[in-house]
Structure formats: structure tokens, C-alpha cells
């Protein structure tokens, strides 16, 4: 029996060694942790239980029968993060460059199947050269098997992808289906076709970093929700993100103990300038409302005219969607609409209440916006809010003009509570533009057109550029003092905690993709 035990120990030692010490050293030289080191740092101490450590590939072509590594390039298993069960897989770049084989894919699929059954998050640590070309269509089939399970898990359990090395070709689609993608700067990249193919087909010279690096995807494409400086920060980001999320779609995020005090925040009284055309930082408003230092922003560098992220309010996890007047006056565009819509739908999937802070002058005009489908993308945002059944509260801090007023979680599309600050302007458009249209003839005939325009602008502003017309009709539930906003929101979300909405029966809606 002792010899058999020794054999078992020997096999597990081989599995733990991955592609060998020389390749492990190479990983460290590239400022990257190994797959096992990543799992060890991510999970609670001694909590990881590996599944499939002795799996090997089945390929005999191209002398592969003589190149066998236990685990076959991916480490799979389960453990805990801050005591919460999670499933994790980490591709091992020291084994065939982390390339995906038939058995490699089977291990990931088995993990996803278990996670769906149990109802716990899945975290994928991606570091792979792509499909294992020695296996041909079998590796391609393996990718598709994973994609299918990602889709089945979508909206059932949170799925987080970390890109900690190369991720190219078919490998990119699994992270794209998951809920959040975090990339490591200077050591990770994602693209469907690499620089050499781009050069051949389009004659463009571009580096891997420029084509699909962390900065590119965090700021230009929006593929990455967050970028991290290194492996350790990336794993810390995963831990923090997970703290705002529930285990699955049947649960709510864990509430942190919070003792209610005097919740009046005087700092909010001076956030919005008297001049309606002067920008201000919506982050100041957010920080003035939420629990101290609890905001975790998503997509920070992408579509900056809108802010999305998680925070805590009285210990509760909430999702925040807010226009940002510091960027293009907070207008809605192609990218910002898509960014917000995706975030809203995630929050709705996982029972995370939504707080919407509105200061929006409208949709961004121009040929680029129209030719790139602002109509469809704006409709995505409208659809996402209208579809959401979680508690939804809106606060209009300043401007809410035109169709953007409707889209930004107005009462008309199902918001539960709608507040406005006293300086809020709710109208079809700004007073100046409206006056130029309504009083066009009167202004043109005046002895002093500029003076007449100012007079009519003031007249229009007094009648419509305020929250009271909307309040008279019940479109605004209450006009509140800025300093009372946090107190009102605490009470509002507590009141809505047991909200239930039964929608019409259907297979699924048809969101304007």
C-alpha cells in the first residue's frame, strides 16, 4: 500500500509542477504569477480544493503522446473568498502556453456545471495562447462547449474573467460573455486576430498592446471593465468586486452592519453651481450620498459622460448610474448608452437596487452618433431601465431635457421613487433653445432682438425650467433639499426592499441589439 501512496504523491507533485521549474521561472521573469500562485492569493488560506488534477490530454498526433502534463494546462476547483464559496479555474501558461485542448475544456465545463447547480460565482483566470492546434477541431469544439455554458450561467451566477496574459482568437468570447472582465496592464491582451494577420489583411502596423492591450480595451473598446497594474492588484480587484455581489440570482448581496446616525449631508448643498452651464464633478455628489469610501467604479475610462459602479448605502449594496457633467456635459451617446444598459441589466439579474443621478442635456448630436446607431443604442438604455424590476430611485440634480429625461429612469418607465433638487430643470430643451423656437417671430420683430430673447428666455425658465411642473403631475414624487438626499434614499430603499414585480409571461424580450 505504501508504494501506491508514494505513486499518488508523485503524480500530484508532477501536477503541481505544471510545465516544469524552468517555465515557472520564465513566468516570474515576465512579472507574472503562476496559475497556482494566483489561486493561492485569490482564495482564503488553505480553502482551495482542486478538481481534475490528474487529467491528461488524449492526443497522439504530432508526437503528443510523449508530451503529457498532469492537469493539461488548467487548474480547476473550488474554495472560499472571505468565507464565500466560489469556483475558479486558472489557465497554466507553463503547460503548452495554456492552450486549450479537448480535456482542458472539459475541466472548465465540469466546473461551470457544478457552479450552476450549486449557485456560486465562477472566476476565470485566463492566460492562454488559444486553441491547441495539434487537436484541430476538437479544441474548437471545446471552446464552443465553454461558450454554451457561459450563456446558461448568465444571469444565474456571477461570472468574472481576469485576463492575465494572452487571450486571442476564439478564447476572447468566453470573457466577453461573462459579466466582468479585468485586464492586467502590459502583460495581457485580447484580440480576435493578431497584429500579423492585421498587417497581412489591412496593411496596418500595430503592436499587440496597441491592438488589444488593457488600456485599449479599458478606454476605446469597452471590452475591459477595469484594468489593473499587476497580477496582485487584479486579484484584489476581483475580491473587492465580489464583495458587492450575491452568490446567485436567488439571493441578495450581503448587507454590512450599519448604525443609522444623523444622515444629513451638508456637503451636497454646494455641489451644483448656480450657473446652469458650469460643469461639476458628479463623483462629489456620489461620495456625498453613499457610505464613506464605498464606491467601486466600473468602466471608469470608457464613455466618461456616464458613471456606473457599485456602492453601499446604509450597508446595502447598490448600483449607481449617473450622468457626468464634466464630460460632454453628461450627454448620452452611443458608448455611454451601451455602457449603462449593460450595467443596469447586470444589477437587475442579481437583485442589486439602482440609484440614478440625473444631469443630462439630451443625446449627443452629430453624424458619428447617427451613423453609428445612437437610436438603437439609446433604445438599449431605455429597454434596460424599463425591463428592470429591482428597486429603482432617481434623483435629478440639475438638467433633465428631452428624450434623455424619459430614458434616465423616469417615472414613466417604471422608477419607484423620483426626487429632484430645487434647481432641477425638467423640460423638452434648455430655455434659450426653446425661446428661440417658440418666440421666433416676436424676437425677430423686436427693436432689440437680443434683449427680447433674454426676456423670453427668463419667461420660459420661470415656467418650465424647474421641478414643480413635473411635481404637480406626480412625475416627481418630492422636491428635496440636497442635504436630505442620503436620508431620503436610505428610507426609500428600505421601503422598497421587498418589492415584487410580476411581468407578462414570455420566453424573453427582444432587446434592440
388 belongs to the catalytic site? no
Are both 316 and 232 inside the same structural domain? no
Which of 169, 212, 309, 362 is the catalytic position?
Answer: 169
* Cα 241 to Cα 160: distance, rounded to the nearest angstrom: 9
pLDDT at 249: 97
In terms of residues, how long is the chain? 513
Mean pLDDT per block of 10 residues along the chain (513 residues) reads: 88 89 93 96 97 88 83 96 98 92 95 98 94 86 96 98 92 95 96 90 92 96 96 98 98 91 92 92 97 96 97 97 96 97 98 98 93 95 97 97 95 97 87 74 75 75 83 96 97 96 91 93
Give one word for 499, left, alpha or beta, with left for phi > 0 and alpha for psi -120 to 50: beta
With residue 78 as reference, give the H or E element that holds it: strand 74-81
Residue 447 lies in a domain: yes
CATH assignment at residue 476: 3.90.226.10
Is residue 258 assigned to a domain?
no
Q: How many CB atoms lie within 10 A of CB 470?
A: 23
How many helices and strands in the chain, by DSSP H and E? 20, 17
Q: Which of 119, 141, 222, 403 is catalytic?
A: 403
My answer on whether 227 and 319 are in the same domain is no
By CB atoms closer than 10 A (0-12, 13-18, 19+), residue 451 is exposed
Query: Can you give the pLDDT at residue 453?
Result: 74
Let me know if 403 is a catalytic residue: yes
Give me the pLDDT at residue 378, please.
95
170 catalytic per annotation = yes
User: Are 381 and 458 within one domain?
Assistant: no
Q: Are residues 7 and 115 in the same domain?
A: yes
Could you say which of 90, 303, 311, 404 is catalytic?
A: 404
- Same-domain check for residues 59 and 150: yes
Q: Give me the domain span that covers residue 443.
A: 431-464
Q: Assign 3-state DSSP to the chain and report helix, strand, coil percentages, each to 5.
A: 45, 20, 35
Residue 50: Cβ-neighbour burial (10 angstroms; 0-12, 13-18, 19+):
middle
Q: Which pLDDT score is estimated for 394?
A: 98
pLDDT at 133: 80
Report if residue 252 sits inside a domain. Answer: no
Does any domain span residue 37?
A: yes
Same domain, 112 and 231: yes
Asked whether residue 64 falls in the same domain as residue 74, the answer is yes
Do 274 and 165 share a structural domain? no
Q: Which of 73, 170, 212, 333 is catalytic?
A: 170
Q: pTM for the whole thing?
A: 0.94
Residues 289, 175 within the same domain: no
Amino acid at each position: 500500500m505504501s508504494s501506491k501512496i508514494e505513486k499518488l504523491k508523485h503524480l500530484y507533485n508532477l501536477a503541481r509542477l505544471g510545465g516544469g521549474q524552468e517555465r515557472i521561472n520564465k513566468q516570474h521573469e515576465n512579472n507574472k504569477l503562476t496559475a497556482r500562485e494566483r489561486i493561492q492569493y485569490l482564495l482564503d488560506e488553505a480553502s482551495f480544493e482542486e478538481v481534475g488534477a490528474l487529467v491528461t490530454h488524449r492526443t497522439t498526433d504530432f508526437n503528443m503522446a510523449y508530451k503529457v502534463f498532469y492537469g493539461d494546462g488548467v487548474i480547476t476547483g473550488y474554495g472560499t473568498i472571505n468565507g464565500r464559496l466560489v469556483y475558479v479555474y486558472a489557465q497554466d501558461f507553463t503547460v503548452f502556453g495554456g492552450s486549450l485542448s479537448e480535456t482542458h475544456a472539459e475541466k472548465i465545463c465540469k466546473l461551470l456545471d457544478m457552479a450552476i447547480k450549486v449557485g456560486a460565482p465562477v472566476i476565470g483566470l485566463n492566460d492562454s495562447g488559444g486553441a491547441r492546434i495539434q487537436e484541430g477541431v476538437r479544441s474548437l469544439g471545446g471552446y464552443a462547449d465553454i461558450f454554451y455554458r457561459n450563456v446558461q450561467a448568465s444571469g444565474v451566477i456571477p461570472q468574472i474573467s481576469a485576463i492575465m496574459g494572452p487571450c486571442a482568437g476564439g478564447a476572447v468570447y468566453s470573457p466577453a460573455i461573462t459579466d466582468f472582465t479585468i485586464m492586467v496592464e502590459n502583460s495581457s491582451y485580447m484580440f480576435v486576430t493578431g497584429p500579423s494577420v492585421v498587417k497581412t489583411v489591412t496593411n496596418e502596423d500595430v503592436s499587440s498592446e496597441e491592438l488589444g492591450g488593457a488600456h485599449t480595451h479599458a478606454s476605446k473598446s469597452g471590452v475591459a471593465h477595469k484594468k489593473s497594474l499587476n497580477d496582485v492588484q487584479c486579484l484584489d480587484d476581483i475580491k473587492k468586486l465580489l464583495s458587492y455581489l450575491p452568490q446567485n440570482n436567488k439571493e441578495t448581496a450581503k448587507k454590512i452592519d450599519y448604525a443609522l446616525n444623523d444622515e444629513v449631508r451638508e456637503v451636497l448643498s454646494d455641489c451644483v453651481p448656480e450657473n446652469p452651464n458650469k460643469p461639476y464633478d458628479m463623483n462629489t455628489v456620489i461620495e456625498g450620498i453613499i457610505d464613506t469610501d464605498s464606491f467601486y467604479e466600473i468602466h471608469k475610462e470608457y464613455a466618461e459622460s456616464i458613471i456606473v459602479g457599485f456602492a453601499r448605502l446604509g450597508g446595502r449594496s447598490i448600483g449607481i448610474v449617473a450622468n457626468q457633467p464634466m464630460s460632454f456635459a453628461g450627454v448620452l451617446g452611443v458608448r455611454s448608452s451601451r455602457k449603462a444598459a449593460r450595467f443596469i441589466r447586470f444589477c437587475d439579474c442579481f437583485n442589486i437596487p439602482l440609484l440614478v443621478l440625473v444631469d443630462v442635456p439630451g443625446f449627443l448630436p452629430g453624424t458619428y452618433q447617427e451613423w453609428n446607431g445612437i437610436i438603437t443604442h439609446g433604445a438599449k438604455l431605455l429597454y434596460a431601465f424599463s425591463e428592470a424590476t429591482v428597486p429603482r430611485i432617481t434623483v435629478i440634480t440639475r438638467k433633465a431635457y428631452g428624450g434623455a429625461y424619459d430614458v434616465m429612469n423616469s417615472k414613466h418607465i417604471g422608477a419607484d421613487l423620483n426626487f429632484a433638487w430645487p434647481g432641477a430643470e425638467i423640460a423638452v430643451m434648455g430655455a434659450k433653445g426653446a425661446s428661440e423656437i417658440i418666440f421666433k417671430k416676436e424676437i425677430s420683430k423686436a427693436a432689440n432682438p437680443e434683449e427680447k430673447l433674454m426676456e423670453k428666455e427668463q419667461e420660459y425658465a420661470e415656467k418650465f425650467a424647474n421641478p414643480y411642473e413635473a411635481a404637480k403631475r406626480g412625475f416627481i414624487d418630492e422636491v428635496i433639499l440636497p442635504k436630505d438626499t442620503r436620508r431620503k434614499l436610505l428610507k426609500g430603499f428600505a421601503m422598497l426592499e421587498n418589492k415584487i414585480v410580476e411581468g407578462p409571461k414570455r420566453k424573453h424580450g427582444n432587446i434592440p441589439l
